[in-house]
Amino acid sequence: MRSIMDTTRRGSVRNTALVLSLGALIALSSCNSRPKFPAPDSKEYKDVVSAFYIGLSALQVGDDVHADAKLSELTRLVPGEPSGWANWGILALRQRNYDVAAQRLEKSRDVSPENDQIYNLLGILESQRGNSAAALADFRKASELNPENLRAVYSLAEETERQGGANSDSDFQALLQKILVAQPGNLAALLELSRMAAKRGDGETLKSALTQLNSHSSSWPAEAQRQLAAVQTAVSGNDLRAAATQTTFLRNVLMRDPDYRHSLRIIKAAPGEEAEPFTHFLLMQTPVFQPAPADLGLTFNAQPLAAPAGGKWTWIGAISLGSAGAPVVAVANEREVRSQFSFPRRRFGGVSPIGWNCAG
């Protein structure tokens, strides 16, 4: 009997040791699976930084050739940095190469699965592809990860209304109210809440939203104020269907108002700018940029400059006539701009002066 117990005890010890060993191996494997990045003081790090910022700049100005080359290089140098995959995915998304964009954005998500902006990009991709269910899931995940990502919340609201369904209108209204909790008084959100409340026949919410809109209306253009009054008249007459239509007209008029446009940009990007690139690393150490030390030894030797004859000049300044060479001095008044410069003579050598003036 004792022999059986000893054998059982030894087996239990061996099993415990095996479990501990497996746990250690899993932990070690997890540590080793973390992406490795070059040291900030290394040449490799400088190469990564150069590829990232050149690729980003090219992406921002629409230079697709350079953006593709540098972002491809970036993902090769540091495949564990999600911002490179995301920005490269945005390039494909803007080119409407949706399958490639999906591969790159999903790679970015796999490397950084808790980043709300990456899920928002995936939602934009799926929405453009017409995959409403997938877009809803991605926008919802983005807003859950970061409730302050108001653009993701509003995109979720828009996609919810677009998809339709038994509860789509009430869900849309709840999402707009969530935005207004995060940013009270947002004109665009208030106007959309008014439209949906009127559509749903929710008079109490509609009146509350209109009261808040009215408090901002003193600086609106006269046409916008008249349109707001038309909405209020429809509500007073209990014609909420007409009120919903009038809120759409009011939105169109308010697009001319800078305050409204500012509030709209907080919750919705301008057309064509929905997919915003990352401007910094997500996992790698972002470089610290510092200005060069001031050149305290720099001095200037001011000398009087004779103004061209033949006029009274009220302005003087330097004008660059090209990418090479020093600027030329120009003078001007309310009617005329005058300057003088020289250019090399290809045939005989030396320089020849040319004067020019523009008279109004």
Average pLDDT over residues 245-256: 93
Please tell me the total count of domains within the chain: 1
Residue 233 has pLDDT above 70, yes or no: yes
| CA distance linking residue 273 with residue 256, whole number of Å | 19
Q: What value, to the nearest 5°, has the Cα angle with vertex 150 and ends 147 and 151?
A: 130
Q: What value, to the nearest 5°, has the Cα angle with vertex 176 and ends 174 and 178?
A: 70
- Choose from 5-19, 55-69, 300-314 the range with maximum mean pLDDT: 55-69
Residue 44 placed within a domain: no
Residue 106 has pLDDT above 50, yes or no: yes
pLDDT at residue 321, rounded to an integer: 75
Return the sign of the alpha-carbon dihedral for residues 210, 215, 219, 225. positive
Residue 268 placed within a domain: yes
| Per-residue pLDDT tens digits for 63-87 | 999 999 999 999 999 999 999 999 9
> Cβ-count burial of 260 within 10 angstroms (0-12 exposed, 13-18 middle, 19+ buried)?
buried
Q: Could you tell me if 212 and 191 are in contact, meaning their C-beta atoms sit under 8 angstroms apart?
A: no
Average pLDDT over residues 313-336: 81
Q: Could you tell me if 61 and 55 are in contact, meaning their C-beta atoms sit under 8 angstroms apart?
A: no
Residue 338 has pLDDT above 90, yes or no: no
φ/ψ of 332, rounded to 5, equals -155, 160
Average pLDDT over residues 163-172: 90
- Quote the domain boundaries for residue 254: 183-272
Residue 243 placed within a domain: yes
Q: Which amino acid is at 206?
A: L
Residue 57 placed within a domain: no
Q: What value, to the nearest 5°, has the Cα angle with vertex 88 and ends 83 and 92?
A: 145
**pLDDT > 90: percent of the chain:** 64
Q: What average pLDDT does the structure give for the chain?
A: 86
φ/ψ of 311, rounded to 5, equals -175, 165
pLDDT at residue 33, rounded to an integer: 55
User: Cα(first)–Cα(last) distance of the chain, in Å?
Assistant: 117
pLDDT at residue 346, rounded to an integer: 52
pLDDT at residue 343, rounded to an integer: 55
Residue 253 placed within a domain: yes
| Per-residue pLDDT tens digits for 112-166 | 999 999 999 999 999 999 999 999 999 999 999 999 999 999 999 999 999 888 8
A 10 A CB-CB count for 159 gives 22
| CA distance linking residue 71 with residue 88, whole number of Å | 6
Residue 245 placed within a domain: yes
| CA distance linking residue 217 with residue 195, whole number of Å | 17
| Per-residue pLDDT tens digits for 2-25 | 454 455 455 554 555 444 445 444
Residue 207 placed within a domain: yes
Cα–Cα distance list, 47 to 19, 81, 90 (Å)? 44, 14, 22
Residue 297 placed within a domain: no
